[in-house]
Amino acid sequence: MKKFISQNGLIIISALFLLPLSCTKDKVKDTTGKEVISQLIKVSGEDVNSTTKTTLNGRATSWVAGTDKVGIFSSAARTAAGGGGSAVVNTQFAAASSGARSNFNGTMYWGAVGTSHTFYSYYPYTAGASAATDVPVSLPSAQIQSAANNCNHIGAIDFIVANPVTVTSPTSPGTTSGVNFTYNHLFTVLEFHVKGTGNLKAINLQSNEPLAFSSGKIDITQPTPASGVPYTIVNQAGLSHLVATKLTAPAALNTDTDTKVYMVINPCVPTDKCIIGFQVDSDWKYIEKIVPAEGFKRGVKYIVEVNADDAIKTTVSDMSGNTYNTVTIGTQVWMAKNLITTKLNDNTDLSTDIAISWSRLTTPAWTYFYDWKNYVYLNTCGMIYNWTAVNSGKLCPTGWHIPTDTEWTTLINYLGGTDFAGRKIKELGTATWYAESGATNETGFTSLGGGFYDTSFNYYKISTIWWSSSEASSTNANVVFQTWEDNKLKIISQPKEKRGNYVRCIKD
């Protein structure tokens, strides 16, 4: 089994963003009696430990003109000449040209002459950062790469923080003086070198430590941590243990030549092997990898060498002869689609009836969603089952079962919690959902908007409900609910009687 190969400091960039010093004005006095000069501040920056900023071209990096923007803070610098305006709060500077070095366009002025000015900077610029101590930061769990070997997507994900810089403002007009920033990376890059056969559509990485988060805040005034040591990020929400890179154009794998796929993750030290999932053609298959002893260090690029043909695909069959692909999500193995069996696992036939009479059945029963408007059964999303079938303990294939509340909660938490997990299991597009709402399906779980039955068939393409095997009370059972319009995945309670929901089996 091959191990992750750590390569540190492979890529070095210098990013200079200079403010033209076109003219100066005479000195004026501010209300404190200190002199100020109407001089633009010259700014330069470099990243001596870069692995990702901002696009990767082989082992060189470059800024992208007009696209890459940094934010700068300084309580002493000013937004207007002659000491006017206000302190510099999240002022935007944009790259003027593409390349390893670039001028940056932006405006800020020195404050009082001969005084200490401290500057803070970060990339990428985010509107709404009200203080250098409270800058928004996130790392998406769903990342999109346009094609094999293309790493342009990393530029939008990469987050860098400059070492705080303190300088003394010039004492006279026309003096050449400025600020030089050295940037440090917040995250870690993985470069997968994949061999094998088939068409590679996506890769996901899974860990027992969080790899991504939907939102958080960083204080960019904090002391720069030692090399490889993470920055402190607070108020993190949507912590996900799974990150996926999807290829917009599937890549034809080769047994001799590497296909490169890039992923950005949160630095961490997993305490167990990581799982790598490959979506090859239409199926997901998985392999385990040992992580470096030091884990994934901040600001380092790791090369992951792997053969997708060594990954394992598993299936399971029910008593009706249907075969299901499976997906691995953390420690759990799930069917990749809803159950469609007409038999219990002891080969007993389930009951069924016409739509108008189905709810009267007291034996284990199934049906398809019935479209009352068009008088047709819809079988795209799987079969709907009553509580009696669920409670029989025999609905799923032998070695599999209907998940409990605890198991559903484990899935939800692994993917970032109730508010974020839904999008990560939802089918993309509008084939079975009313409208697109940010679905990524990075897990391969592929939830479908199949509606449900509650004395009648309702909400096809609007929502879906799966049974849990956990009872809420003598009359109610818990179920898992999802709608088209948000990314939530919620456990709720509903009556057992005269209800029908879908079933997704999980491996024992």
Confidence of residue 155 (pLDDT cuts 50, 70, 90): confident
CA distances, 286 to each of 147, 202, 327, 335, 349 (Å) = 21, 12, 9, 14, 34
* pLDDT for residue 24 is more than 80: no
447 near 502, Cβ under 8 Å?
no
Residue reference for tokens 């999303």? 381
Angle at which helix 405-414 crosses helix 418-425, to 10 degrees, equals 80
Distance in angstroms (rounded) separating the CA atoms of residues 228 and 230: 6
**Model's pTM, two decimal places?**
0.87
Confidence of residue 3 (pLDDT cuts 50, 70, 90): very low
394 near 344, Cβ under 8 Å?
yes
Q: What is the pLDDT of residue 176?
A: 54
What DSSP line would sit under 326-357, residue for residue? EEEETTEEEESS----SB-TTSPBPB---GGG
466 CB-near residues (< 8 Å, 6+ apart): 338, 479, 480, 501, 502, 503, 504
Q: What is the pLDDT of residue 25?
A: 20
Mean pLDDT of 14-27: 24
Mean pLDDT of 72-77: 95
Confidence of residue 230 (pLDDT cuts 50, 70, 90): very high
99: nearest Cα among 57, 139, 154: 57
Distance in angstroms (rounded) separating the CA atoms of residues 133 and 218: 7
Strand 142-145 to 242-252 pairing: parallel
> Percent of the chain beyond pLDDT 70?
86
Q: Which residues pair with 316 in a beta bridge?
A: 324
* pLDDT for residue 60 is more than 50: no
180 vs 492, higher pLDDT: 492
Interval 195-210: pLDDT, tens: 999 999 999 999 999 9
Mean pLDDT of 162-166: 93
Q: What is the pLDDT of residue 31?
A: 26
* pLDDT for residue 135 is more than 80: yes
Interval 365-408: pLDDT, tens: 999 999 888 888 999 999 999 999 999 999 999 999 999 999 99
The torsion defined by the Cα of 70, 71, 74 and 80, in degrees rounded to 10, comes to: 90
Q: What is the pLDDT of residue 317?
A: 98
